[in-house]
Structure 1
Amino acid sequence: MTRSTLEHHDVVIVGAGFSGLGVAIALKRAGFDDVLLVDDADGAGGVWHWNTYPGVAVDIPSFSYQFSYAQRADWSRSYAKGAELKQYAEHLVDRFDLAKQIRFETRVTSATYDEDTCAWEVATSTGDLTATHVVHAGGPLSQPKYPDIEGLDTFAGQVMHTARWDHDVQLAGRRVAIIGTGASAVQIIPSIAPDVEHLTVFQRTPIWCLPKADFPLVAPLRAGLGLLPGAKRVARLTSDLYVEATFPFLAHYGGALQAGKVLEPLALSYLKTQVDDPETRDKLTPRYGLGCKRPSFHNSYLSTFNRANVALETGGIARITPTGVVTTDGVEHPVDVLLLATGFKVTEKDALPGYDVAGRNGLVIADWWETDRLQAYQGVSAPGFPNFFTTFGPYGYNGSSYFQLVEATASHIVRVLTEARRRGAAEVEVTPRAHERYMDSVRRRRGPQVFWQPSCAQANSYYFTKDGDVPLRPALTPEVRWRNAHFPLDDYAYA
């Protein structure tokens, strides 16, 4: 097919998780009707479509993990389980009539900008198409990261990454090993420990784990939230304040305020009450500051290590054999099922996005970021890439609820496209001057952040890039929302 006969859309959104759905809803409400979402999954929900492992749940309160314009009063728990979040995504598709605008089982393989036509040529697994504007709405927890361990491909048992859980694999009564102790592992370990014969946990870096205010939302409370005027708004505000205090404030101002001196003793005290064995407790004690990486919240993760059938290994993995895992001390740990809780590609070159995006003069955005460091104007756009936007670009996310980010990003994109439509512009691109001004502002505000304290040196946090940067936006959520809704429209060039 020639370019002129290819299927064309005004906006193509890559990803039908909450980021893609949120942008699509915002565009629809602003009068943009020719919008197509493509996703390689066979259903909506993004991370909540793919992640179905035992114990999967949101790590911030449910009342903050939803759009402000589509609030639910019927969450079953204060921290919703994964299946409910998947259902919420499907609810959004139905409520906002998006089904006919989503193309599932379609993976984007490249996007190339044509300067002559001011349009993007988008290659996909189900056929090529063109778009005036492209929005990359893939989140940072979408591409599983597999460990580079000698012998992994020789293991004769069953192997699965936590983000691609195979429910046909039986764990009960079997010897199971899990590599990693990040957010997913914190939920999986206590969920499977009572059923397996033996569970070996291979830990590289311990995680700060704090108690979680997780409780069922009983029917009278749900009814009150649904019926009382303003009740949902109050619940969301209370939840948002809690979320803001437990990460954005801690991350961006904790360094200057030395918040760790107050919070870390409380976390260590909690650890002491949960783990009986002093040696195990010591292994589970972080040697980096609270806030250097996102802390986890769980009420039974730490105490699971009191079980006789759970062992914690911290010496490091030398290799994997067909029958088990060999640690650096030469001991082989027999394993029937190997679980990889090794996280996701976040700041790697092939992570954001996971396909080549070639802008002006053929410049591939991943190559540019690789050589000139991650950067983007409000995390949304970059000079040299006209008509291209990201919902989760560098220096856009401040650590709050992803829904806050999506709403802020969506408002940014809608403002730009509405202005382009008003001016009759076929092309819109952030100016180098505005981009650099924004990047200068985030660099100047690094000082109070917790990440630059000496205590973060041993954190092994995925927040840090290979260049030692932390591409988070150093601002609290109200400021992020306001600036995304009020930046000068002339920060973009229209043609």
Structure 2
Amino acid sequence: MTSEQFDAVIVGAGFGGIGAAIQLKRMGYENFVILDREDDLGGTWHVNHYPGLAVDVPTTTYSYFFEPNPNWSRLFSTGTEIKQYANDVADKYDVRRHIRFNTSVESARWDEEADLWRVTLADGATVSTRYLITATGFLSQPHMPDIPGITSFAGKIIHTTDWDDAYDPRGQRVAIIGTGATAVQLIPELAKTAADLTVYQRTPIWVVPKLDFKFSARAKRLFARFPVTQRAIRAVTDALYEFFIYVGLHHSKTLFRRLNIGASDLAKMHRFFSIRDPELREQLTPDYDFGCKRPTFSNSYYRVFTKPHVHLQSSGIERVESDGIVNSDGTKTEIDTLVLATGFDLWEANFPAIEIIGRDGRNLGKWWRETRFQAYQGITVPHFPNYLSLASPYAFLGLNFFNTMEYQMRHMDRLFGELKRRGATTFEVTEEANARYLDRMTELIGDSVFAVGNCATSRSYYFNPSGEATLLRPMSTRNAIKEASQYPLSDYRIA
């Protein structure tokens, strides 16, 4: 069977893939396809639909800069609204017609003779493409806990990434494993109707108050009529979150160290005013520095543990039996439903999410693990021509994925613009440029909480299996966007 051939193949129809598609269209490319394993677009905002789902970055900031939305209902909008925003943007920019749903990609291999990528699908079909873009996101592969006896549980098991919308916890004895960002949103919702709720905590999380409010109809009309007003609000929320990142990550300078302590003190005060029981407060108190693990925002998380039917279990799990959980302290919790809020398999299953074989047979996942996790400007890798990885080491800008997408779209614009100017078709970042970038990122991380703070007990997904904090790009959004617009084109071999 003859393989279909495209100018570009994008793997993933979340906000990263949609942004890459919009950028390709801006540059005049129309012969491209987006392949996604799900049955609709939106990525994590399509897959996740558990109760309480909401963005934990103000939606004035959590959106494409070029596409403000005047219709947000509140500052921290719900998952349903974020999914609708994805739909609206895809329709406005005519992206949807390029998407093929229910299409899983298994692997991609660079054909050196043809200067093309051969992409293999799960059904055995292949497609060929000049340019390959993986936009599989950072949080796309659910982590299933390896707990003895879990398969013997006779009740209902639900993972938060596969929520059963028909499930009603009313009158149920529920256990939830995990206290990350997802659990912080879900636990208060489960507690509203469950007869009994036990929360299994391995690592406490830093939680700070959430300043949330609704946008009035008048405010929405103002945003729609005068978009500059919404951009002004975005400038404020962007600046506040940028400052928040700096406070959380930078430890080497005395000022930022003091501000970091101040942020942790805010969480401590929030915990103190929410919970009067000192023993319970102590159980919920992290023993690692603020910023080692992604902090979260909630006004109800701490208070929910003061309810008589909500219990915190932090002794650990020995095994699961057919009717409940045997705890490490010897007690047993009988339950009807087990909820897994165990997050994502970030490094083992996601870097990369599919098998990528580049020039000279280099396997990207194997190379990353045998050398170090690395990617020039968080987007390209030597020995992988015409390949852009939007979920790479040193790519993610702190708390806001859209800022990451903004600089990556600008990087694409500069790179593909140069290809067109030269009449070229192939690019590959040089080993030297990649090495310089890796050295600089290593130096910048050395000034962060990850290197000089107390992160040993955080179990943070910011750290790769080798213990290096290679997920975040340790610089401001302004600097990342500036670099994306001005990086030396000589850092690439273009032909």
**Cα shift at 1:168:** 2.2
Is 1:279 the equivalent of 2:293? Answer: no
Q: Any conservation in 2 of the 1:252–1:475 contact (CA below 8 Å)?
A: no
2:131 pairs with 1:130? no
The answer to whether the 8 A contact 1:400-1:477 is kept is no
2-side partners of 1:384 and 1:108: how far apart?
A: 21
Deviation (angstroms), 1:476: 0.7
- Distance in 2, matches of 1:187 and 1:477, equals 27
Q: Distance in 1 between matches of 2:72 and 2:181?
A: 22
Q: CA deviation at 1:352?
A: 2.1
**Structure 1 equivalent of residue 209 of structure 2:** 211
Gap regions ≥5 residues in structure 2: none
- The answer to which of 17-26 and 265-274 deviates more is 265-274
Per-residue CA distance 1:192-216 (angstroms, 9 max, x = gap): 1010010000000100000001111
Residue matched to 1:459: 458
Q: Distance in 2 between matches of 1:353 and 1:229?
A: 38
Alignment of 1:134-213 (within 5 A): 134-213=132-211
Rounded Cα–Cα distance in structure 2 between residues aligned with 1:246 and 1:177: 33
1:255 CA drift (Å): 4.4
1:76 matched to 2:91? The reply is: no
TM-score by length of 2: 0.97
Q: Given that residues 112 and 359 in structure 2 are in contact (C-alpha distance below 8 angstroms), is that contact kept between their aligned partners in structure 1?
A: yes
Q: Secondary structure at the match of 2:81?
A: helix
Taking the TM superposition and a 5 Å limit, the aligned residue runs for 1:396-475 are: 396-471=395-470, 472-475=472-475
Letter of the 1:404 partner, please give it: N
Task: Return the alpha-carbon distance in structure 2 between the equivalents of residues 229 and 304 of structure 1.
Answer: 39
Counterpart check, 1:120 vs 2:117: yes
Q: What does the per-residue CA deviation read over 1:345-364, in whole Å, with 9 as the maximum and x for residues that have no partner?
A: 2122x212222101112221
State, as a whole percentage, how many aligned pairs show the same letter.
Answer: 41
- Aligned partners of 1:393 and 1:209: how far apart in 2? 27
TM-fit CA distance, 1:260: 2.7
CA deviation after TM superposition for structure 1 residue 261, in Å = 2.4
Once the two structures are superposed, residues 59-102 of structure 1 have per-residue CA deviations (whole angstroms, 9 ceiling, x without a partner) of 00010011111101110010010000000000011100112101
Deviations 1:155-197 (A, max 9, x none): 1111111111111222111011000000000000001101001
Counterpart residue number, 2:267: 267
State how far apart, in whole Å, the 2-side matches of 1:400 and 1:460 are.
18
Does the aligned pair in 2 maintain the 1:255–1:451 contact within 8 Å?
no
Tell me if the contact between 1:181 and 1:341 (Cα under 8 Å) persists in the aligned partners.
yes
1:285-318 CA distance string (max 9 Å, x none): 1111111111100110110001111000000111
2:46 is aligned with 1:49: yes
Deviation at 1:426, TM superposition (A): 3.0
Does structure 2 conserve the Cα–Cα contact (< 8 Å) formed by 1:114 and 1:120?
yes
Q: Distance in 2 between matches of 1:326 and 1:239?
A: 45
Aligned counterparts of 1:311 and 1:15: Cα–Cα separation in 2: 39
Write the distance in 1 (CA, Å) between the matches of 2:40 and 2:400.
Answer: 22
Residue 316 of structure 1 is matched in structure 2 by 316
Q: Deviations over 1:410-447 (max 9, x none)?
A: 21123222222332323210000111111111111123
| 3-state SS in 2 of match to 1:456 | coil
SS at 1:230 equivalent: helix
Any unmatched runs of 5+ in structure 1?
none
- Between the aligned partners of 1:299 and 1:251, the Cα distance in structure 2 is 20
Offset at residue 125 of structure 1 (A): 2.7
Partner SS, residue 55 of structure 2 = coil
Residue of 100, 105, 109 corresponding to 1:103: 100
Give the Cα separation in 2 of the matches to 1:94 and 1:264. Answer: 42
In structure 2, give the amino acid aligned to 1:382. Answer: V
What TM-score do the two structures reach when normalised by structure 1? 0.97
Amino acid at match of 1:458: T
Number of aligned residues: 490
> Secondary structure of 1:306's match?
coil
1:116-161 CA distance string (max 9 Å, x none): 0011110113531111110000111111011111111111111111
Separation in structure 2 between the aligned mates of residue 270 and residue 252 of structure 1, nearest angstrom: 21
Question: Match for 2:276: what amino acid?
Answer: D
- Give me the whole-angstrom Cα distance separating, in 1, the residues matched to 2:412 and 2:146: 38
Deviates more, 1:197-206 or 1:226-235: 226-235
Q: SS at 2:146's partner residue?
A: coil
What letter corresponds to residue 411 of structure 1 in structure 2?
R
For 1:444 and 1:450, locate their aligned partners in 2 and report how far apart those are by CA, in whole Å. 13
Aligned with 1:395: secondary structure?
A: coil
